[in-house]
Structure 1
Amino acid sequence: MKTKVVFFEVPGGTDKWLNGYRKDTMPMVDALKKRGQEAEVIFFTIEKRDEIFDYVKENAIAYVSRINPGNLKHEAEYFDMLRELCALGVIGMPHPDAMIGYGAKDALVKLRHTSLVPEDTYAYYTTEEFKSTFPKSLLGGERVLKQNRGSTGEGIWRVQLVDALAEDATEVPLDANIKCTEAKDNHVEYHTLGAFMDFCEQYIIGANGMLVDMPFLPRIKEGEIRLLMLRDTPVNVVHKKPAEDADAFSATLFSGAQYRYDAPEDWATLVHAFLAQLPDITSLLGGYDLPLIWTADFILDTDEHGNDTYILGEMNCSCVGFTSQLELAESVAEEIIACIGIEVETAV
């Protein structure tokens, strides 16, 4: 009988604690064991892929993926293994295609017909699309380009025109001067539009390459609001305020942003509006169960009536950490047990 919950990790990486595990993994394992649920960690390696697959297939009722994509050298093979396990009835937390659907930047484009994302949000999968459309979108105002790869703001650029264009312009000319600020560290570069688009081709070419293009929201200076979700329940809110520098728009710690942890009740308007749209989100992103632990980042905006609105900037569910709040492991364990119980009851 399959009884175990398996946590997947990979050896090495900068996210490991002194014991070789992610700092937030063993607290979840221990919380499950405390509740009488068998749980263990398996380190995925491509050399032992088949052996791991057979063991999990025979022994696990569910898996929890705790692998930072930046540490995963064989992502395609790992995801294929997870798909096979899910197809055989192992409960995926999350399903690999949910990881892709929620984590990829083009999730924003899939959600742009909801109130969460501006309509003029685009995804570029080829350099031809990018070079054809971006000069037109930039004509309408400041834009933010986001690469699909990378982390901590790398390859996320705020793009501004330096000089005004002629009133009858239909797109920004390639020789126009632009100001580009990267979210990684808020450094500023000046380029012609053509040269900068040539530089950005690196983000589109290759596996999982793409660029997302969306309007710049100036109220990012008031802070980014991150909802930390446990399935369909918000467990805390992180308010991330960029540094005071005039060009700063990044909300990463590395760039000097200040973090504050709030209760979901402190952001009731945002929370209620977001929860009301979860059915649309799950449907538009593939119909998979909500991830076990995931985040949604929002930026304040203002509607035509002067009211506050919240625009979705990105989501993440590949391996969301909670190392600064390890007590959440108890709630995670309860949710895992509840999901297993629901699945077993449904099967019976």
Structure 2
Amino acid sequence: MKKKIVIFEVEGGSDKWINGLRKDTMPIVRAFENLGWLCEVLYFRDEWKDEIYEYTKANFSGFISRINPGNLPYGEELYFETLRKLSEIGVVAISHPDEMLKLGAKDILIKLKNTAFAARDTYGYHSIKEFRKRFPFSLAQKQRVLKQNRGSTGVGIWKVEIHDDTKTFENEPLPLDTLVQCTEAQDNHMEIHTLDDFMKLCEKYMVENNSILIDMPYLERISEGELRLLLIGEKPMAVIHKKPSISEDAFSATMFSGAKYTIFQPEVYPDLIRFFEENAPQIIKQAKLKSYPILWTADFILDFDEQQKDKYVLSEINCSCVGIPEKLIGEFENSFAREVIERIESNFTLKIK
């Protein structure tokens, strides 16, 4: 076993600092070095995939993927192909493409819709025909949130509502010429389209990514903030309260949209932690994974149950490229590095046996 690990990043992107790397990359590198491991950073390019594969195969026992969905200029296909090939020859994956796709894609909300995590009236549209047939019915009932399956920083996540809220449609689909108000989570900018034009705009998420669209209810208590569980394995390490900006149309809790982040110890939110720990095995079961990712997050929005008591609704999971908040740098990366080394050593021990 080589005491060497590589971090994969991509050139460019809004997540980079003045040194061209993510802000938390060098603290992670130093954490491994303090534990006696060498940690190297490589940029991934499609045209370098063969060289990266051979170099990683020859020099490292594991890799850490630190690339946000959407940051690779030509998509994730060749990158994931390279990661899978490395994993197949025994290089330990943090995270494996299966984890990123089965948990980090928004369709995990569809897989969990019959569990305690997700809203029951959450739908997945697997074809443009299905989307155009069902979404006008869905939107006629209430405000909705439409999400592309893979993405980050709120791109392709839209809050959609009828522009003239005095109109009622009950059990009828909205006419295609109905004006709808659409707010994108990336920066809370608002657009007004006919329903027909908006659906055409969203079709690109299905065509470009050969993927599905997720349609879930808009939860008004997002105004109170979103609660992010920051996890190492199955252990909650922190709760991040993400409060949307106070502008009129704001519903996004991304930092890019102006949301305010406040970090708390898990014990400050005992009900959330209890709810998560009781139900977390369902996530792994429904995603058909064998174990939890090492570094991941689960985001929750408050709603009311039938007794008007608080309940937590899962809004998304991220395990593709979880950032370490600046206020946690100094200790969190050490816990992460120790967990990664433990998994690599455990995998090496199993191979010997």
The corresponding residue for 1:52 is 52
C-alpha separation between the residues in 2 aligned to 1:82 and 1:32?
A: 21
Letter in structure 1 aligned against 2:305: D
Superposed displacement of residue 39, structure 1: 2.6
Letter in structure 1 aligned against 2:339: E
The corresponding residue for 1:165 is 168
The corresponding residue for 1:136 is 137
Q: Is residue 127 of structure 1 aligned with residue 115 of structure 2? A: no
Structure 1 portions without partners, runs of 5+: none
* Residues 206 and 267 of structure 1, relative CA distance in 2, 3 Å threshold: same
* Residues 171 and 20 of structure 1, relative CA distance in 2, 3 Å threshold: closer
The corresponding residue for 1:332 is 336
C-alpha separation between the residues in 2 aligned to 1:287 and 1:89?
A: 18
The corresponding residue for 2:77 is 76
Structure 2 portions without partners, runs of 5+: none
Confirm or deny: 8 A CA contact 1:124 1:204 kept in the other structure: no
Letter in structure 2 aligned against 1:334: R
* Residues 194 and 21 of structure 1, relative CA distance in 2, 3 Å threshold: closer
Q: Quick one: which of 216, 219, 230 aligns to 2:221?
A: 219
Q: Deviations over 1:285-319 (max 9, x none)?
A: 13143222211111000000111000011111111
Higher mean displacement: 187-196 or 228-237: 187-196
Letter in structure 1 aligned against 2:67: I
C-alpha separation between the residues in 2 aligned to 1:42 and 1:214?
A: 38
C-alpha separation between the residues in 1 aligned to 2:300 and 2:40?
A: 35
C-alpha separation between the residues in 1 aligned to 2:216 and 2:29?
A: 40
Letter in structure 2 aligned against 1:299: I
What's the Cα RMSD here?
2.1
Letter in structure 1 aligned against 2:17: W
* Residues 171 and 330 of structure 1, relative CA distance in 2, 3 Å threshold: same
C-alpha separation between the residues in 2 aligned to 1:207 and 1:193?
A: 22
Q: TM-score by structure 2 length?
A: 0.91
The corresponding residue for 2:239 is 237
Aligned length: 347
Q: Is residue 270 of structure 1 aligned with residue 263 of structure 2? A: no
Q: Is residue 174 of structure 1 aligned with residue 192 of structure 2? A: no
Letter in structure 2 aligned against 1:4: K
Determine helix, strand or coil for the equivalent of 2:119: coil
Determine helix, strand or coil for the equivalent of 1:145: strand
Q: Quick one: which of 239, 257, 267 aligns to 2:259?
A: 257
C-alpha separation between the residues in 2 aligned to 1:166 and 1:77?
A: 46
Determine helix, strand or coil for the equivalent of 2:136: helix
Q: Is residue 320 of structure 1 aligned with residue 322 of structure 2? A: yes
Confirm or deny: 8 A CA contact 2:104 2:150 kept in the other structure: no
Superposed displacement of residue 343, structure 1: 1.9
Q: Is residue 299 of structure 1 aligned with residue 296 of structure 2? A: no
Letter in structure 1 aligned against 2:141: G
Superposed displacement of residue 208, structure 1: 4.2
Q: Is residue 344 of structure 1 aligned with residue 344 of structure 2? A: no
Confirm or deny: 8 A CA contact 1:98 1:286 kept in the other structure: no
Superposed displacement of residue 185, structure 1: 3.0
* Residues 73 and 194 of structure 1, relative CA distance in 2, 3 Å threshold: closer
* Residues 195 and 287 of structure 1, relative CA distance in 2, 3 Å threshold: same
C-alpha separation between the residues in 1 aligned to 2:8 and 2:184?
A: 33
Q: Is residue 87 of structure 1 aligned with residue 88 of structure 2? A: yes
**Percent of aligned positions with the same letter in both sequences?**
49
Letter in structure 2 aligned against 1:48: W
The corresponding residue for 2:205 is 203
Higher mean displacement: 308-317 or 145-154: 145-154
* Residues 187 and 8 of structure 1, relative CA distance in 2, 3 Å threshold: closer
Superposed displacement of residue 166, structure 1: 4.9
Determine helix, strand or coil for the equivalent of 2:27: helix
Superposed displacement of residue 19, structure 1: 3.4
The corresponding residue for 2:311 is 309
* Residues 306 and 199 of structure 1, relative CA distance in 2, 3 Å threshold: same
The corresponding residue for 1:155 is 156
C-alpha separation between the residues in 1 aligned to 2:308 and 2:113?
A: 21
Superposed displacement of residue 323, structure 1: 4.8
Confirm or deny: 8 A CA contact 1:83 1:95 kept in the other structure: yes
Letter in structure 2 aligned against 1:345: T
* Residues 148 and 18 of structure 1, relative CA distance in 2, 3 Å threshold: same
Q: TM-score by structure 1 length?
A: 0.92
Confirm or deny: 8 A CA contact 1:7 1:64 kept in the other structure: yes
* Residues 60 and 302 of structure 1, relative CA distance in 2, 3 Å threshold: same
Superposed displacement of residue 150, structure 1: 4.3
Higher mean displacement: 12-21 or 142-151: 12-21
